[in-house]
Amino acid sequence: MKYLPLLLSALLRKKTRTVLTLLSVAAAFTLFGMLDAVRVAFNAPQSVAGIDRLVVASRFSIIQPLPYGYLVRIEKVPGVKAVAYANWFGGVYQDPKNFFANIAVSLPSYLDIYPDIVLPEQQKQAFLTTRTGAVVGESLARRFGWKIGDRIPLQATIFPHRNGGNVWTFDLVGIYHAAQPELRGIEQQLLFRYDYFDEGRQFGQGTVGWYIVKVEDPADADRVAQAIDHLFANSSDETKTQSEREFQLSFAKQIGDIGLIVTAIMGAVFFTLLLLTGNTMAQSIRERIPELAVLKTIGFTNRAVLLLVLSESVLLLLLGGGAGLLLARLGLPLISAASSGQLDLVMPTQSWLLGLCLMLLIGFIVGLPPALRAMRLRIVDALAGH
Amino acid sequence: MPDANPLVAIRGVSKVYERGRQKVEVLHHVDLDIPTGDFLALMGPSGSGKSTLLNMIAGLDVPSEGSIKVAGQRIDRLSANELARWRAAHVGFVFQFYNLLPALSALKNVEMPLLLTRLPAARRRRHAAVALELVGLSDRATHKPGELSGGQQQRVAIARAIVSDPALLVCDEPTGDLDRHSAEEVLALLQRLNRDYGKTMIMVTHDPKAAEFARRTLHLDKGTLIGQDR
């Protein structure tokens, strides 16, 4: 501790440079904290215990549809309270960059199973009775300036219309909002009637993308999930019953190995950080050669100077990295809320520990070359300015 | 008459630097005794070897040949770490360019050598405050080097040199970067430390006026002692 003023003096020598380096380190560790939370979320073992809604999808792939006939069989499974179904449509509004979820849903069962979707009664009735009707979340309506009565054309990317065209047109009959602010992510969806979809598409009639099952007792969810999967075992369309969260993650996993992607990004970030802080430390030591020579002159041993420079580097990483992880910790609930709770991002103790290890390791790696240089410094040459 | 037990005893010291294949002899068989309480000025043209001699007496460099005893101890036989510890205990340094740490206050700069001791923080601060008072800068204790004049910075450096109460003070061109008035203040302070506190001083200087503050002046040329004033 008594050497802390010396370390701080070294860091405060060029305040702007230190602040910029700290910001870089903090940014890198904020990214690390968030990406590691994503990695943990995708790799965590999932359980359906205590969950009142389950999703039944194909065991092999979520893009593999299930027969419509499963509906009545699932409804008969003991412990099942209600069943709805849905199908990913994948339509594009005007431009592919205007991505949002558009889903064909069973009515009224879907709305019954999702009380999180709050729709005024009159609009709900309009949705139930309008064949081409669609409802959108408030956020999505705001994004595109839609209002009730608008006609929304979506360009099909998977399901061409049986009339030969690719454009499906929907009548906007309702705008819903999420029951709770932390679920506002569901307001980024467009829902339309499954029967309209099933009749209109060129192929796949009589199949659904997935079933949503409401269980009578959440404590019984595990057994219900197993019973459903058991029901269709060894059939041509085996099922996998899972939590909604796991189902959502399966969707994201379609783009690739999330763990690998996250690790690759973090690797690139930390490699850049190594170069950046390594350069900063090297430059800082170069400028302070006379000061280090003075320390050695007044009696600091070679080893003491080595440790001082290494400590300085580690301290820089700990300060910036600690701030970064704290920022990530504060930001994660906001991201979780934006995903309507489907991405439950948390920073477990292992992330903090891994972050700490990375700070120590990077601090050591970037500090070692200048520390060795400082240790090997010949006082006479350094004081003479050689 | 030579002192029977000089503080510094140098016998047959030579120093050879190798520059590529070339060997350059900077000091040639120097013999020198410096008694306790002396204030010695070393003068000579650039390249005469005066700084090299000073560095070896202070344990910053080792001779190629010969022996150096300080207070009866052969410092030319000490390892790098032993020399570092020896310097911390026995030598105070004053440089031409002060070499203070810019982000630390004057008091913290003075306290720095005491970090190597086992003194508790409060006593370290008290010692540093006394040293600052001795150089007349108590009222500048919280100032950073950038807020002090050149003369004041050099006085802080002197306080740092004496804070651990070393027997020997080595000064390498201590007034080389100061105006005449500040230089005289600094030299008077060094003279007072020698006269009133018995510190043995060795000072390298180009300036004959600075050398006048010393008790005696030795002249070096081409690595050899060539004469003494007073």
Residue pLDDT, tens place only, A104-151: 999 999 999 999 899 999 999 999 999 999 999 998 899 899 999 999
Contacts of A337 (CB under 8 A, 6+ apart): A181, A182, A183, A184, A185
- Mean pLDDT, chain B, rounded, equals 90
- Which pLDDT belongs to residue A50? 54
Contact predicate A244/A214, CB 8 Å: no
Q: Which residue of B has its CA nearest to A289?
A: B99
A2–B contact, CB cutoff 8 A: yes
B98–A contact, CB cutoff 8 A: no
Which of B102, B103, B116 minimises the CB distance to A300? Answer: B116
A342, pLDDT greater than 80 = no
- Which pLDDT belongs to residue A338? 67
Cβ burial of A155 (10 Å; 0-12, 13-18, 19+) is middle
Q: Which residue of B has its CA nearest to A6?
A: B104
B169, pLDDT greater than 60 = yes
Whether residue B84 and residue A300 make contact (CB cut-off 8 A), yes or no, is: yes
Contact predicate A296/A303, CB 8 Å: no
- Which pLDDT belongs to residue B2? 55
Cα–Cα dist B124/B108, whole Å: 10
- Which pLDDT belongs to residue B88? 92
Contacts of A2 (CB under 8 A, 6+ apart): B115, B121
Residues of A in contact with B121 (CB under 8 A): 2
Residues of B in contact with A13 (CB under 8 A): 102-103
B104–A contact, CB cutoff 8 A: yes
B84–A contact, CB cutoff 8 A: yes
Contact predicate A278/A91, CB 8 Å: no
Helices (DSSP H) in B91-149: which residue ranges? 106-111, 121-134
Instruction: Give the full edge-to-edge strand order of the sheet including B91-94.
Output: B91-94, B168-172, B200-204, B39-43, B216-221, B224-229
Residues of A in contact with B172 (CB under 8 A): 383
Extract the tokens encoding B141.
């204790």
Cβ burial of A137 (10 Å; 0-12, 13-18, 19+) is buried
Cα–Cα dist A218/A224, whole Å: 9
Contact predicate B76/B84, CB 8 Å: no
Lowest-pLDDT choice from A75-84, A217-226, A328-337, B174-183: A328-337
Nearest C-alpha neighbor of A227 from the set A80, A32, A118: A80
Helices (DSSP H) in chain B: which residue ranges? 50-57, 80-90, 106-111, 121-134, 150-162, 180-197, 208-211
| Three-class secondary structure of residue A1 per DSSP | coil
Residue pLDDT, tens place only, B47-84: 889 999 999 999 999 999 999 999 889 999 999 989 99
Lowest-pLDDT choice from A245-254, B19-28, B94-103: A245-254
Adjacent-strand bridge partners of A88:
A103
Which of residues B139 and A6 earns the better pLDDT score? B139
Angstroms from B165 CA to nearest CA on chain A: 12
Residue pLDDT, tens place only, A48-95: 555 788 999 998 887 889 999 999 999 999 999 999 999 999 899 988
Residues of chain B with pLDDT > 70, as a percent, come to: 98
Give the predicted TM-score (pTM) of the model: 0.69
Question: Measured between alpha carbons, how far is residue A34 from residues A164, A261, A336, A337 in Å?
Answer: 45, 13, 11, 14
Whether residue A12 and residue B93 make contact (CB cut-off 8 A), yes or no, is: no
Contact predicate A239/A66, CB 8 Å: yes
- Which pLDDT belongs to residue A253? 65
- Which pLDDT belongs to residue B129? 95
Task: Give CA torsion, residues B183, B188, B192, B193, to 10 deg.
Answer: 10
Total CB pairs under 8 A between chain A and B: 68
Cα–Cα dist B31/B51, whole Å: 16
Q: What is the DSSP letter of A183?
A: G
- Which pLDDT belongs to residue B1? 47
> Please, what is the Cα angle at A253 between A252 and A258, to 5 degrees?
105
B79–A contact, CB cutoff 8 A: no
Mutation target to probe the A interface, by most A beta carbons within 10 A, among B18, B51, B93, B164 is B93
Residue pLDDT, tens place only, A3-29: 888 888 888 888 899 999 999 999 999
Cβ burial of A106 (10 Å; 0-12, 13-18, 19+) is buried
Contact predicate B57/B68, CB 8 Å: yes
Instruction: For chain A, positions 292-331, list CB contacts with chain B under 8 A.
Output: 293-303
A376–B contact, CB cutoff 8 A: no
Contact predicate A374/A293, CB 8 Å: no
B145–A contact, CB cutoff 8 A: no
ipTM of this predicted structure: 0.88
Lowest-pLDDT choice from A48-57, A213-222, A348-357, B163-172: A48-57
Instruction: For chain A, positions 157-196, list CB contacts with chain B under 8 A.
Output: none
